[in-house]
Structure 1
Amino acid sequence: MKLTILGSGSPEAYARRASTGYLLEIGDDKILFDCGGGVFDNLVRSGRLPSDITHLFFTHLHTDHMMDYARLVHAAWDEGAPPLKVWGPRPIARMTEGYFGRDGVLSPDLYARTELAPSQQVWVARGGTLPRAWPAPEVTEIKPGFSFQGNGWELKSCEVPHAQPAFDCMAFSVEAGGKKFVYSGDAGICDALTELTADADLLIHWCYRLSTDDIHPAIAEFSPTPEHIAKMAQSAGVKELLITHFRIHMDSEEGHISAKAELKEHFAGPATIVDDLDVYEI
């Protein structure tokens, strides 16, 4: 398995970090976890095409985890790719229809690209045929506990505390070739996540605050510090730990020194803060 960081930031507009997105490659499958703002551009910068994505899984539907969804679908469709296979919590089907349905927000664009003669001729010149169908992602709505059997890999999920009851919020694990990868989504520490994480070869976990941050208790309950994450990973037998979802104020030299010191103190294996376009072999 190979992991590429396509977005390691937060909802904040930030040149250094796109919002959330992680690409996991297993054989011919290219599995995207979340698709926040800026992830599309980093996918292209990484040398892939939108049409390369074979599976898209959403942990939850905050905009920083799905803002580039429509762009990915539209661009892959414009390349002539087969419909993208998408899994995510409710209401991902309604949101998809809201983008690409006959009365969706993109319907004027799609009408122009499929019905107007100049656009039709551009499409035909690129190897397309008429009539041209609209984008139609194959969407499956899922709940925590969902599992999926891929080609030589298996995905499992659990519920994690984050933005309930507005959304179902999930973490995912993927096992392939005797290795295990876990992505926390946006998650407070909980027994279900610790169990899902057990003996993972690589865990990537969101980190929305530092231990020194002065924040409201309601945020603290669901936003673990590097120390909390490291202790959980150590107790679960994780071999390598990555933290992500860094906010602007955390990305100072002092913030990195503090976070890495806590990781080193409480986790025995390799551990670090990721950056966009980092690549990890699992």
Structure 2
Amino acid sequence: MNDLFLLGTKGGPAVRTGGSMPTSSLLRIADQVIVIDCGIGVTRAIVNAGVTLMDVDAIFITHLHSDHILELGPLLHTAWTTGLKRKIQVFGPVGTNDYLDHFLQSMTFDNDIRVRDEGRIPLDTLIEVSIFTQGSLPDIGGINVDALRVDHPPVTDCFALRFEADDIRVVFSADTAYFPSLAEFARNADVLVHEAMLLEAVDALVARTGNADRLKQHLLASHTAAADVARIARDANVKHLCLNHLIPADDPQYSPADFIAQIKTVWNGEVTVGYDGCRIDLAPD
């Protein structure tokens, strides 16, 4: 089965009543189960998608903002307590190993007592961390993986990811400002999962969140307006554009129709405004 789940589709780390959860996705191709980013809620969302935690083969972290890595450790630990006995590969930028080292240290009591009392394999021996930068990454079960450094200031190590196998190409933009080079990276993708921001909603969002001036500067410098996302999709000739990491995702004044309206000013291809639990079939042509 080849498919893609958007597990969490909200841009930013805040969690609000009735709103969506921060960023995480799950990709199943070539008999591999791959998690991309681990925002809060990823563990439950994987299970809700009908996937067993022990079936996860690899996890990719696009960058170290909390809404992309906060639940990496808890996901691995929960897979372990669920019965994991084989290695999970974790790929991330510089700093990912530091995060995991400190997480494992914080769980020393629980880890040690479960090894002694329940006979479990030590968790640290089941986690294989690979630090990556731009370029080709090691294949995952026959899946070709490539990374492209994108523009997400002040973070410098933030990477779009491209997965190719079984005549399927799926690209994740990660968090980025409008980055024209991404169009070539995503050329002819079956699905481009790209973050999207409504410019007209930014003032209301920052007023609600606080630190309005600084936060607004960050959003405008570091994220992509929906119309510019459409330019990437058009220039890349993608088959299906899926909007993710939505800004805003929990403002009742705005709906998926507002995102689509911005996309359609530039591009008339197939577009899905992501929502938590959204599934996209990846059957090859």
What TM-score does the superposition give when structure 2 sets the normalisation length?
0.86
Q: Deviations over 1:120-169 (max 9, x none)?
A: 2xx3xxxxxx47424331001111224232333211110001144x4500
Q: 1:217 to 1:248 in 2, by over 3 A?
A: closer
Q: 2:256 matched to which residue of 1?
A: 256
CA distance in 2, matches of 1:58, 1:275: 20
Q: 1:207 matched to which residue of 2?
A: 196
Computed over aligned residues only, the root mean square deviation of the Cα atoms, in angstroms, reads 2.0
Which one of 176, 180, 184 corresponds to residue 187 of structure 1?
176
Contact 2:42 2:75 (C-alpha < 8 Å) held by counterparts: no
Deviation at 1:253, TM superposition (A): 5.6
CA distance in 1, matches of 2:199, 2:33: 32
Q: 2:34 matched to which residue of 1?
A: 31
Q: 2:149 matched to which residue of 1?
A: 159
Moved more, 138-147 or 202-211: 202-211
Deviation at 1:259, TM superposition (A): 1.4
CA distance in 2, matches of 1:232, 1:56: 26
CA distance in 2, matches of 1:174, 1:131: 33
Q: 1:9 matched to which residue of 2?
A: 10
Q: 1:146 to 1:209 in 2, by over 3 A?
A: farther
Identity percentage of aligned residues: 26
Q: 2:277 matched to which residue of 1?
A: 277
Q: 1:213 to 1:99 in 2, by over 3 A?
A: closer
User: What amino acid is the match of 1:68?
Assistant: E
Which structure is higher in RCO with an 8 Å CA cutoff and minimum separation 6?
Answer: 2
Q: Deviations over 1:36-75 (max 9, x none)?
A: 1011111111111211110111100111111111111112
- Specify the SS of the correspondent of 1:221: helix
Q: 1:239 to 1:217 in 2, by over 3 A?
A: same
- Specify the SS of the correspondent of 2:189: coil
Q: Give 5+ residue unaligned stretches, structure 2.
A: 207-215
User: What amino acid is the match of 1:81?
Assistant: K
Q: 1:132 to 1:95 in 2, by over 3 A?
A: same
Q: 1:93 to 1:205 in 2, by over 3 A?
A: same
Contact 1:50 1:76 (C-alpha < 8 Å) held by counterparts: yes
Contact 2:19 2:250 (C-alpha < 8 Å) held by counterparts: no
The yes-or-no answer on 1:69 pairing with 2:72 is yes
- Specify the SS of the correspondent of 2:133: coil
- Specify the SS of the correspondent of 1:60: coil
Contact 2:30 2:165 (C-alpha < 8 Å) held by counterparts: no
Q: 1:73 to 1:131 in 2, by over 3 A?
A: closer
CA distance in 1, matches of 2:233, 2:195: 12
Q: Give 5+ residue unaligned stretches, structure 1.
A: 124-129
Q: How does 1:1-282 map to 2 (within 5 A)?
A: 1-10=2-11, 11-14=13-16, 15-78=18-81, 79-100=83-104, 104-115=105-116, 120=117, 123=118, 130=119, 132-136=121-125, 137-164=127-154, 166-214=155-203, 216-248=216-248, 251-252=251-252, 254-282=254-282
Q: 2:212 matched to which residue of 1?
A: none
Aligned pairs, number: 266
Contact 2:7 2:42 (C-alpha < 8 Å) held by counterparts: yes
CA distance in 1, matches of 2:240, 2:29: 19
Contact 1:161 1:187 (C-alpha < 8 Å) held by counterparts: yes
Q: 1:111 to 1:151 in 2, by over 3 A?
A: closer
Deviation at 1:5, TM superposition (A): 1.1
What TM-score does the superposition give when structure 1 sets the normalisation length?
0.87
CA distance in 1, matches of 2:137, 2:108: 33
CA distance in 2, matches of 1:147, 1:94: 20
CA distance in 2, matches of 1:191, 1:257: 25
